[in-house]
A and B are shown apart, each in its own frame.
Chain A
């Protein structure tokens, strides 16, 4: 029995990666949920918006590196992030003006908007591939670890190491900052309040003199910023590949729906629920259990509930369970 080692192994392989992944999903899901709450459709182009923002950030990072600017121990991509966000804002505002506005004015059914967003997804996917190609791109520079497994072992004298990647720490810190700003904005500022009013009851909001065009514009800007941030954080933590961002769509939607579509707090909670379930169910628990169980009871196999290839199945299963038993999500969302 060695509880400390077990705890460290758990933290290293489950808690820290789950926390970082959960933060990435949460920021992604916030974007989906805001679009749903205010524009009232499920935006399938969200994954590709993330990819576009990340691609722009990578380009800016490369330019910064080319003129010799780095961010010291932190990834240079963080310096380039504002540029990526700016470009993404321009793109989504342009798309809204060119594409979505027409259907909004027509008061088209939400499902039409979903199909339209599918078309946008196609185009964006093509544009991203056109700009940056389909190769796997790693753009994290600076220090790789805050604590490496070996340093941790020498420091504490334990058998198990705890490695914390810089990108994981940055993800969590940035996520906290982003969420804090977002909630301050939604709850304290005039525009934020009008957004919430618009989301709660469109007609009443219009009656009380809220300018819908402005609300929609601000929403798109926030969503672009959130999507780019989520995409860059994910790309720093893993790597950038146009295709993986499309696949993130499922866990992100699962997070948003599990939390309750249209509810920002729900999106964050949903992100962590999905991330931790994915990590815990696909982790081989043998490494933790050997420290906890007496030798005679030690498991033979890996004690992995599902192979990592089925992580989509986990988010999907949770989604189905929530849909069956609590269709409005854990926190009350708007949907029925």
Chain B
């Protein structure tokens, strides 16, 4: 079978699975899966850029996704004037003091040598830390005291939420630059640990810095790029059109908004996919793969391996940030407590490996397919467990264990899929050409 035919067949299977879900479980469920699947596909594109093109092992996807989520709040929520008046400037001054401390420490580190270097650098860091905390903490207390039940944070810029998507990418790119500067050029395992660490820290910051995005109190009611269902249902023209299609207004409005999101996500995915394909087939993409396959040889040819790695690491992370902003837009709320590495980092890795690392279409296919599976494993697992347990007497402990266990089937299944693909088809469903 030639590759084009095989790929078409694979994507058709995906389409049939989604159509099947739509027919069995309803179109709302199916569209929900499609929308999150599109976002997952974008995340997988980002990771594929890093892993498939350059062989970089990033397991901090969750952190970059969360930064994208933060961007939606910072861009789209209305600013809280009272909080800005109370301590906004002071917080900014505190942050500037913190940044200045780090800059001064780096300067001292470069300027001096030997024992003076250590003493001066440490002195600058410690003094700077206390100045920073003194200025910053007072500001934070003032801001968080402003109506903590409803706001208690600085709010955002009140811009349309679509602006948050590129900004999410920029935030993620910034974080990636810091990590890449430190950990790239060392062993691949170190990059893994460093990204794992930064992801945990980003989540910790989001959970605890209430002045920034309300922490675990969550920011709800983010503006939406598509109309609200209620408004549609009250719109006489819309109800009429829905009726002409034979739909009741409630179903029609929910489908309409979901399709709206789907179209937006599809546009972003297509643009990114097009760019990634262009990059893959450009001299730059060939250079990346050359570096991946033999760093020593590429270096001997005069390629700056570390700089190229940094470049592609930032690009890949930025894509994850964009996807994160899109996901928070779809949810309509930022809930830092829900970011879990197994769901956001490792699942994306399963998507990339299963889809075919090094192939952009593979990443897209893997993203949507694995997302479908992730959603469907639980009902399917429950059904399977019910069949297994049906022979057992009511109330037996094994029966309860089996049925409770269905909830944990997801991790098990994903792990098994990853291991099986790595073992028997390491190049994935759509292999790199």
A binds B: yes
Structural contact, A118 and B204, CB atoms closer than 8 A: no
Distance (Å) between the CB of A50 and the closest chain B CB?
A: 16
Chain A interface bracket (under 10, 10 to 19, 20 to 34, 35 or more): 35 or more
- Residues of B in contact (CB 8 Å), total 48
Main secondary structure of the interface of A (DSSP, over half): helix
Given known A118-B349, A123-B411, A323-B190, contact A250–B341 (CB-CB < 8 A):
no
Cα of A120 to Cα of B418 in the assembled complex, Å:
9
Query: Contact mask B193-223 → A, CB, 8 Å, 1/0?
Result: 1101110110010011000000000000000
The answer, yes or no, to whether A112 is at the interface (CB within 8 Å) is yes
Determine if B404 is an interface residue (Cβ-Cβ < 8 Å): yes
Is A291 an interface residue when CB atoms closer than 8 A count as contact? no
A308 shortest CB reach to chain B, Å: 10
Main secondary structure, interface of B, reads helix
Shortest A242–chain B CB gap in Å is 9
Contact status A320-B204, CB under 8 Å: no
B404 touches A133 (CB 8 A): yes
Q: Is A125 an interface residue (CB 8 A)?
A: yes
Chain B residues near A249: list those with CB within 8 A.
Answer: 196
Query: B409 an interface residue at 8 Å Cβ cutoff?
Result: yes
Our pick among B194, B342, B408, B415 for the contact of A119 (Cβ within 8 Å) is B415
Cβ contacts under 8 Å, A254 to chain B: 193, 197
A42 at the B interface (CB under 8 A): yes
User: How distant is the Cα of A305 from the Cα of B130 in the complex, in angstroms?
Assistant: 9
Q: Mark B167-188, 1 if CB is under 8 A from A, else 0.
A: 0000000000000001100111
A123 B415 Cβ-Cβ under 8 A: yes
Whether B190 and A246, one on each chain, are in contact in the complex, defined by CB atoms closer than 8 angstroms, is: no
Closest to B420 in A: A119
**For chain B residues 219-265, which have a beta carbon within 8 Å of chain A?**
none
- Which of A73-81, A152-160, A232-240, A311-319 is the contact stretch? A311-319
Q: Give the residues in chain B near A125, CB-CB below 8 Å.
A: 342, 411, 415
Is B189 a contact of A110 with CB atoms below 8 Å?
A: yes
Q: Which residues of B contact A (CB under 8 A)?
A: 55, 57, 59, 129, 133, 137, 182-183, 186-190, 192-194, 196-198, 200-201, 204, 207-208, 341-342, 346, 349-350, 353, 401, 404-405, 407-416, 418-419, 422-423, 426
Give every chain A residue within 8 A of B349 (Cβ-Cβ): 115, 118
The chain B residue sitting closest to A308, CB to CB, is: B208
Enumerate the 5 nearest inter-chain pairs by beta-carbon distance, A residue then B residue, closest first: A122-B415, A126-B412, A123-B415, A126-B411, A119-B418
Q: Is the CB of A110 within 8 A of B188?
A: yes
- In the assembled complex, how far is the CB of residue A335 from the closest CB belonging to chain B, in whole angstroms? 5
How many Å lie between the Cα of A150 and that of B197 in the bound state? Answer: 40
For A313, what are the chain B residues with a Cβ–Cβ distance below 8 Å? 201, 204
Give the docked Cα–Cα distance between A14 and B188 (Å): 35
8 Å CB contacts to B: which residues of A90-124? 99, 102, 110-112, 114-116, 118-124
Please pick, from B129, B201, B414, B422, the residue contacting A316 in the complex, using a CB distance under 8 A: B201
Query: Measured between C-beta atoms, what is the minimum distance from B250 to chain A in Å?
Result: 36
Give the nearest-CB partner of A45 in chain B.
B415
Question: Which partner residue on chain A sits nearest B55 by CB separation?
Answer: A111
Chain A residues lying within 8 Å of B137, measured Cβ to Cβ, are 301
Cross-interface CB contact of A323 among B55, B129, B186, B405, cutoff 8 Å = B186
The listed residue (B133, B197, B346) touching A312 by CB distance below 8 A is: B197
A/B interface sample: 27 pairs, CB < 8 A: A42-B192, A111-B55, A112-B422, A115-B349, A115-B353, A118-B59, A119-B416, A120-B415, A121-B346, A123-B412, A124-B415, A125-B411, A126-B410, A126-B411, A129-B408, A129-B411, A130-B405, A130-B408, A249-B196, A250-B197, A307-B208, A310-B204, A312-B200, A315-B197, A320-B197, A323-B190, A336-B186
